[in-house]
Structures are given as structure tokens and as C-alpha cells.
Amino acid sequence: MATSFHDIVEGLQEQIGRSFAVILGQVDSRQTERLWMSVGRFDVMHLPRTTVTEVVPPLYASSIMEWSSGVPEAKLNFDGTSLDQIGGLSLGGLRLMGVGQDLEFLAQIETGMELIQETTIEDVQLKTGKSGDLAVISIRRVFKNNGQDMLRCTETFIGR
């Protein structure tokens, strides 16, 4: 029997407060440069290399959807999203739309750093919108290096 939307939401609500830690790996200089480039900050690209390569784009860590090689295409949802979309959390196949982030920058993330991500579901609320039921999901991620909090990000999603 297929799991209903309400069952998925209830399952997520039961996970509120639980934390999951994932080793993300090393911040890669080529990837950070590509992020600068894709955003269009060419002016930053032309700054001295110590500035560009050591100072990672501020939204770098919190924008990356998948730090590993990911899963085979056959295991993706129809819309291309992954079943485990954030920090190894099982989101039950909900289709998520990001609606913003709240970021605290505690220390500068630099290329070459090893990052660990600690993810916690902070809140899940069932609401009814114009197009039907939806879940408002708040997920907190803390990016750490050598035990130090570097970046704290609370992101809100609409799940359907």
C-alpha cells in the first residue's frame, strides 16, 4: 500500500529534534571557483587568488544538494530529486521546494577544509494551501571543521 502524504508528514514529525551527522569531505577549490563563475561574480574571480581561493562563496556549503557522487538516475524521483535530499535524512519521497535560508557565518570556510554536516529536522507543520495540503519543513544544518561550528543554516522547505 502506498504511503500517504499525511503518513510521510507524521513520520517526519516523529523525527523532529533528531540529528544526523554526515562527513561531507574536503572543500574543493575548483568547485568553489565554478560556483563563483556560475553565479556571475567575475569581478571576484579577478581578485588576488588568496582572496578567491581561500574565501569560499558564502552560500557554497548550504547550496550544494549532494556532496557525494549521488545515486543512479533510476533511483531518483521522477522530477530528478533524490529520495534522500538533505543530509542523509529520509524525506519519504516528498517533493521539496526551498523557500529560503537563515545563515550564521561563525568562521570562514576555506578550500581544503574537511567539513562535517550535522542535520536536524527542527519543525514540520501540516498546512493547507490553495493547491491542497503541504508541509512546511524547517531543517537546521551545522557545518563543522575540526569540531568547530563554521556555518549554521536553517532552511525552510515546502513539501508536497
Partner 1 sequence: MDDETIKVHGLKSGDVIGPYEWHPTTIQLFRFSAVTWNAHRIHYDQAYAREEGYADVLVQSHLHGCFLAHSVLAWAGPDARLIRFRWENRHFAVPGDVLTVTGSVTLVDGNQVTCELQEVNQEGRLCAPAWATLELPSSGRGGVG
* Binding residues for partner 1 (CB under 8 A): 31, 34-35, 37-41, 43-44, 47, 51, 57-59, 62-67, 70, 76, 79-82, 97-105, 108
Give the total residue count for the chain.
Answer: 160
Q: Which is nearer to partner 1, 21 or 64 (CB)?
A: 64
Smallest separation, CB 84 to partner 1 (Å): 13
Question: If DSSP codes are grouped into helix, strand and coil, which group holds residue 153?
Answer: strand
DSSP 73: G
Residue 86 beta carbon to partner 1: minimum distance, rounded to whole angstroms: 12
C-beta separation of 101 from 154 below 8 A = yes
Of 52, 54, 30, 27, residue with least CA distance to 42: 52
Shortest distance in whole angstroms from residue 159 CB to partner 1: 13
The closest alpha carbon to 41, from 26, 28, 59, 27, belongs to: 59
Nearer to partner 1 by Cβ, of 4 and 69: the residue is 69
Residues 6+ apart with CB under 8 A from 39: 57
The CB-of-6 to partner 1 minimum distance in angstroms stands at 23
Q: Is 90 exposed, middle or buried (0-12, 13-18, 19+ CB in 10 A)?
A: middle
The smaller minimum CB distance to partner 1, of residues 10 and 105, is found at 105
Q: Which is nearer to partner 1, 103 or 116 (CB)?
A: 103
